[in-house]
């Protein structure tokens, strides 16, 4: 950082419920670690003020911003363009200022993919994914773009499951099918990757998925999106079955790493970001 440079570059987040979002702590830990004179401003923005918030970010020369609930879809008309996966998903969680234009990207799915690639490449793999909400949509599209062989979406409601499967079949090369979640669902033999992209486990980590746990086999890679707490019942069961497991912190950290790269050009050190989140969730768990 140049001495006596009193103006920081700005990025941030627009959401409701922003006081529960730890991203600011994780990103600013990276800025500090890499000596960047950048700030991440976590803003509470109601839906009717989203347009004004984006205009404000433009006026102040923000380098970009994250969007979280409930703005991931409604932000699109306020932006100047979309990256490939954001265009397919119709959802943006990260806007990037490229030559004065705000381009919408979706780093949720990319963050998931990056943490998955640390243990396995989804290309040619059979995937079972629980959930069909925003996180599932982002993950499903990235897994398909990464060349997954098949994607089985298991969701409680057909009303959310069907549009996701339709989107995957129409806009990607990966064949997708929907299973409306039956009682005690058994993971089909031949499944390589199993993902919980529902909110089951959020808050206390003890809620089980309604599955036959013995159908989780030792060769499978099992991932969960839940961050709070990261060690969910689903992952504990999978670990006990001998599966390789990936927690939701990896997705959160990697979407942050990708966002920082888009905004600053720097490859942020993920271990610094994980350390900060572990400090935070350790405190939350007490
Ligand atoms: P949504 O509300 O969009 O979707 C929730 C999904 O969970 C739906 O598929 C819903 O099914 C399913 N679901 C919820 N409760 C149950 C239940 N009791 N039984 C069966 N299915 C259930 O949420 P998001 O997709 O935005 O978020 C999902 C989770 O992902 C959240 O916990 C969020 O914190 C986490 N997340 C983590 C990220 C990370 O970086 N690690 C990033 C983004 C999200 P139905 O359609 O039937 O209602």
The set of long-range contacts for 15-20, using a CB threshold of 8 Å and a minimum separation of 24, is 15/43, 15/44, 15/45, 15/66, 15/67, 15/68, 15/69, 15/70, 15/71, 16/44, 16/45, 16/46, 16/47, 16/69, 16/70, 17/68, 17/69, 18/42, 18/43, 18/44, 18/45, 18/68, 19/44
Centre of ligand 1 from the C-alpha of residue 199, in Å: 4
pLDDT tens string for the chain (286 positions)? 556 789 999 999 999 999 988 999 999 999 999 999 999 999 999 999 999 999 999 999 999 999 998 999 899 999 999 998 899 998 999 999 999 999 999 999 999 999 999 999 999 999 999 999 989 999 999 999 999 999 999 999 999 999 999 999 999 999 999 999 999 999 999 999 999 999 999 888 889 999 999 999 999 999 999 988 888 999 999 999 999 999 999 999 999 999 999 999 999 999 999 999 988 876 444 3
Pocket test for ligand 1, best of 199, 270, 274, 280 (most atoms within 8 A of CB): 199
Centre of ligand 1 from the C-alpha of residue 132, in Å: 8
Q: Which of 63, 72, 125, 276 is catalytic?
A: 72
Centre of ligand 1 from the C-alpha of residue 225, in Å: 9
Stated pTM of the model? 0.91
Task: Please name the residue whose Cα sits nearest to atom 13 of ligand 1.
Answer: 198
Tell me whether residue 125 is one of the annotated catalytic residues. Answer: no
């Amino acid at each position: 950082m140049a001495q006596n440079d009193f103006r920081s570059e700005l990025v941030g987040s627009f959401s409701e419920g922003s006081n529960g979002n730890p991203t600011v702590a994780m990103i600013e830990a990276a800025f500090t670690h890499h000596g960047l004179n950048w700030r991440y401003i976590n803003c509470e923005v109601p839906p009717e003020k989203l347009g004004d918030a984006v205009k404000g970010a433009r006026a102040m020369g923000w380098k970009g911003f994250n969007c979280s609930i409930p703005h991931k879809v409604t932000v699109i008309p306020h932006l100047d363009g979309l990256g490939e996966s954001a265009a397919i998903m119709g959802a943006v969680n990260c806007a990037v200022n490229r030559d004065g234009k705000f381009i919408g990207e979706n780093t949720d799915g990319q963050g998931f993919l990056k943490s998955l690639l640390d243990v396995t490449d989804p290309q040619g793999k059979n995937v079972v994914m629980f959930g069909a909400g925003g996180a599932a949509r982002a993950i499903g599209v990235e897994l398909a773009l990464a060349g997954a062989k098949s994607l089985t979406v298991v969701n409680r409601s057909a009303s959310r499951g069907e549009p996701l499967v339709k989107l995957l079949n129409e806009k990607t090369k990966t064949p997708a099918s929907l299973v409306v979640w039956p009682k005690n669902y058994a993971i089909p033999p031949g499944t390589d990757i199993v993902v919980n992209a529902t909110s089951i486990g959020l808050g206390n980590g003890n809620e089980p998925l309604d599955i036959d746990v013995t159908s989780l086999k030792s060769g499978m890679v099992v991932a969960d999106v839940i961050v709070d707490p990261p060690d969910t019942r689903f992952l504990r069961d999978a670990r006990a079955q001998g599966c390789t497991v990936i927690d939701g912190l990896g997705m959160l950290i990697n979407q942050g790493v990708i966002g920082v790269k888009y905004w600053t050009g720097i490859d942020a050190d993920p271990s610094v970001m994980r350390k900060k989140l572990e400090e935070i969730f350790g405190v939350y768990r007490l």
